[in-house]
Amino acid sequence: MNWLKFSLVILLYLLGIFFTFNWQPWKAIFSYNGLPLIFLLVTIAIFSFTKSHGTKWLLAILDMPAKYWIAFCSLTAFLTATFLTYVPLEGIPHVPDDICYVWQARTFAQGKLFIDSHAIPEFFHVMFFVNDGKWYSLFQPGWPALMALMVPFGLEFLLNPMLAGVAVALVYPIGVRVFSERITRFAMLLMALSPMHVALSAAQISHILTIVLTEIAILMVFKLEEENKLKYALILGFVIGWLFITRALNSIAVMAIVPIPLLYFVIKGKISIYKLMAAAPVAMLFLLLQLGYNHAITGDAFYWPQDRYFDITEPKQGCHSLGFGTKVGCPVIHPGEDYPDGFTVWDAFGVLHKRMGTFLLTLFGWQALFLFIGVPFLSRKYGWRKYFLLSVFLSLLTAYFFWYFHGFWGRYYYESCFAIFLLVSAGMSETNRLLCKLADNKGAVLAKIMRSAIPALAFSYMVFNSFFFIPTATYQILSKSFFNVDSRIEKFSHEIPEKSIIFMDDWYQTCFIFMRPGDTSNKLCAKDLGKHNTQLMQYYPDWHYFKYNVKQDKLSKMNVKVDPTPVFIEPEFKIPAHDTYGGYAHLEDWLTNKNSKASGGSILAFDAKGEGSFVAFQQYIFKDGNYKVNVNLATGDNYGKVKLYIDETDCGSPIDLYSKEQGIIATTFQNCNNVPLIYGKHRFRFEVDGKNDNSSGYKIGIDWMLLDLNTKDK
């Protein structure tokens, strides 16, 4: 029976390793042009000629008092992550996820769940934000709620480096309950020097909190088996609940494996079922908090902010979801990963393989160390807990197998890295024990090499990551990616006066991060929307205006003076459209059959499903009066008939947009040549009113609008 178990483990191990490394696992050994391998061979040669074969110094370090070792490893991770946070990343968020989390934290710190949108919100659109009157991000509240506690002290960027140290420290109480003291300590060192661990900890994303919560959950399972105390069940419920409102899918992955050993011990009488059940209401409290948050944000407890965001930005409703099928995959946010013909099981295997490569590369630096993960399962040692640790990794692989997009780095598996490092450390220890045993029957030179191999590998890992991967790959990539944004923005922010607008075309988010939720009274960064910019100037007529190019580090003053009318509108900048029915609104590049471009090169296109479908948007009016509405509309062979409504005013007969060739027509609506509008927001609704018999569809296309005050009102 044991041989059957060992044969199965070997088979699964070999299949997994070969799949992960594209059926050529030996290529992992020769990564970085063989530099790690060369360093390893040189180290083996040096260690072979030392009396202790390199083990004496390593054991001396590993055998220091436990409290000092924990402090050393935790401090290493904390200081490295802090350095990356404040030097190459400049103590500011850069990627959309970071920006969203920091914005949420600063919003929560004000005692609010969301911020009211600016009166002209299209100038402040950023990826992953909903800006439809309520201004909030699509992410869950668990992580920014914790970060909000640091905002009053200006330490929100230091929280993840602190948690990086905590995550390393938690490896110790987990590891010593499964493996030996030395195996656990080396696993802590592997994690402290992991490029992925310190790089993610330097950002402001939620993964570091989720790994800490996952570690505590695993530790509580061990504690419950050992002591059967109510407090451990309550803590387990607390961390699983918090995990749910931070990264819901991760909590589901944890909940899939945690009950297995617990229920077994309940049956065996080692754990009280009543104490274990106490975890459920604690976890349920967090579920209710998430549903309450959803209701406050979207108006529906079961309609998540994430669903709201993707429903207004993607052509396929529900595209950003788990599972398989033709509706899964979002082309706007994930071009090339949207699977237009449907996401299948085979596609999922391809994504898993693709992301595992980047995951292991950034997790280890030299991904060849992953080859040791299967070794502990060839031994009878360590009992059921080694399988439980492996299940942490496999549960995340399985959970995200059903999600079409695994993201940058394959970082969605990161929360299992503590278990991976423990298993790899155990594998290296078992391999070292076997090599030393076999060396007793070998010649002197070969015996020295065999006894030196694993200590040399451990030394190589530490040196390679400490002096090559982290300083060069990690540090330089982060530095080059963001080209001193902080210093450039800080520089020009001191050069412009109060009450200024800075328009930016490229890299708008680099200026957006310097604004604070709810602060619209000082200096604002706005997207450069071309002729549409006049609207912001009409809203702030007495302010100063600048344009800034981040990459060229060029700031130029705009000497403009604008009147409150006419109001020029580029409707494509109203995308994402938050007020639609029966269709999908999106920006579409547009050329007529005569190669003449639409204004700004694009239109607001609405792919309507039929009569009654509509797209609507809010528009600000800057002066009371009677307005004439001029509209340029797109035409084509799949276009319908369109009516315009301004607030409750019906602008008259529909306009037929059918034509055999693509074109642009200038038109007015008969009842809106003298429509009264007052200062403030108004709703413009374009509604499908049937179609020409020759048309193949009901599409609407809007190029531009001009709201011109009639002469007597001027």
The predicted structure's pLDDT at residue 1: 45
The predicted structure's pLDDT at residue 116: 93
Q: Mutual orientation of helices 207-227 and 259-267 as an angle, nearest 10°? A: 10
Q: 304-308: long-range contacts at Cβ-Cβ below 8 A with a sequence spacing of 24 or more? A: 305/130, 305/136, 305/137, 305/138, 305/139, 306/138, 306/139, 308/130, 308/138
138-150, pLDDT tens digit by residue?
A: 999 999 999 999 9
Partnered with residue 687 across adjacent β-strands are 614, 643
The predicted structure's pLDDT at residue 447: 82
Which pair of tokens denotes residue 319? 């595209």
Sign of CA pseudo-dihedral 358, 360, 365, 369: negative
Q: Mutual orientation of helices 383-401 and 417-439 as an angle, nearest 10°? A: 130
560-595, pLDDT tens digit by residue?
A: 778 888 999 999 999 888 899 999 999 888 876 666
Place 661 in a pLDDT band, splitting at 50, 70 and 90.
confident
Q: Among residues 123, 127, 112, 154, which one has the least CA distance to residue 524?
A: 123
- Is the pLDDT at 4 greater than 70, yes or no? no
Judged by DSSP in three states, 90 sits in coil
Q: Which residues, other chains included, contact 502 with Cβ-Cβ below 8 Å and sequence gap of 6+? A: 492, 496, 511, 523, 524, 525, 526, 546, 547, 548, 555
- Is the pLDDT at 495 greater than 80, yes or no? no
| CA pair distance 559, 72, nearest whole angstrom | 58
Q: Which residues, other chains included, contact 100 with Cβ-Cβ below 8 Å and sequence gap of 6+? A: 126, 128, 129, 137, 138, 139
CB-based contact 670:528 (threshold 8 Å) = no
- Is the pLDDT at 10 greater than 80, yes or no? no
Place 365 in a pLDDT band, splitting at 50, 70 and 90.
confident
Judged by DSSP in three states, 182 sits in helix
Comparing 1-15, 517-531, 574-588, 597-611, the range with the smallest average pLDDT is 1-15
- The residue ranking higher by pLDDT, 23 or 533, is 533
Q: Which residues, other chains included, contact 12 with Cβ-Cβ below 8 Å and sequence gap of 6+? A: 374
- Is the pLDDT at 476 greater than 80, yes or no? no
The predicted structure's pLDDT at residue 59: 73
Q: Which residues, other chains included, contact 154 with Cβ-Cβ below 8 Å and sequence gap of 6+? A: none
CB-based contact 702:569 (threshold 8 Å) = no
- Is the pLDDT at 483 greater than 60, yes or no? no
CB-based contact 482:550 (threshold 8 Å) = no
78 CB-side CA count, 13 A: 15
Amino acid residing at 623: K
Residue 188 buriedness (CB in 10 A; 0-12 / 13-18 / 19+): buried
The predicted structure's pLDDT at residue 100: 94
Measured CA angle at 233 (ends 230, 234), to 5 deg: 90
Comparing 36-45, 167-176, 326-335, 391-400, the range with the smallest average pLDDT is 326-335
3-state SS, 649-670, equals: EECCCCEECECCCCEEEEEECH
385-408, pLDDT tens digit by residue?
A: 999 999 999 999 999 999 887 665
Which pair of tokens denotes residue 248? 């819901």
Rounded percentage of the chain residues whose pLDDT exceeds 70: 92
Judged by DSSP in three states, 468 sits in helix
Which of 244-258, 404-418, 568-582 is predicted most confidently?
244-258
Measured CA angle at 453 (ends 449, 458), to 5 deg: 150
CB-based contact 541:562 (threshold 8 Å) = yes
Which pair of tokens denotes residue 430? 């078992």
- The residue ranking higher by pLDDT, 491 or 40, is 40
Place 599 in a pLDDT band, splitting at 50, 70 and 90.
confident
Backbone angles phi, psi at 605, to 5 degrees: -100, 135
CB-based contact 711:633 (threshold 8 Å) = no
181-227, pLDDT tens digit by residue?
A: 999 999 999 999 999 999 999 999 999 999 999 999 999 999 999 99
Rounded percentage of the chain residues whose pLDDT exceeds 90: 54
CB-based contact 225:110 (threshold 8 Å) = no
The whole-chain average pLDDT of the chain stands at: 88
Place 659 in a pLDDT band, splitting at 50, 70 and 90.
very high
- Is the pLDDT at 51 greater than 70, yes or no? no
- The residue ranking higher by pLDDT, 523 or 618, is 618
> What is the side-by-side order of every strand in the sheet holding 544-549?
523-527, 500-504, 544-549, 554-558
Judged by DSSP in three states, 404 sits in coil
| CA pair distance 172, 187, nearest whole angstrom | 9
319-364, pLDDT tens digit by residue?
A: 888 899 888 888 877 776 778 778 899 989 888 888 888 888 889 8
DSSP characters over 97-166:
HHHHHHHHHHHHHTT-SSEEPPSSGGGG--TTEEESSEEEESS-SHHHHHHHTTGGGT-GGGHHHHHHHH
The predicted structure's pLDDT at residue 408: 57
Q: What's the mean pLDDT in 158-166?
A: 97
Comparing 420-424, 483-487, 490-494, 634-638, the range with the smallest average pLDDT is 483-487
Sign of CA pseudo-dihedral 388, 345, 314, 507: positive
Q: Mutual orientation of helices 383-401 and 345-364 as an angle, nearest 10°? A: 120
| CA pair distance 626, 675, nearest whole angstrom | 5
The predicted structure's pLDDT at residue 43: 84
Which of 227-241, 261-275, 438-452, 656-670 is predicted most confidently?
227-241
Q: Among residues 436, 466, 369, 372, which one has the least CA distance to residue 52?
A: 436
Q: What distance, in Å, lies between the first and last C-alpha atoms of the chain? A: 94
- Is the pLDDT at 422 greater than 90, yes or no? yes
| CA pair distance 499, 521, nearest whole angstrom | 7
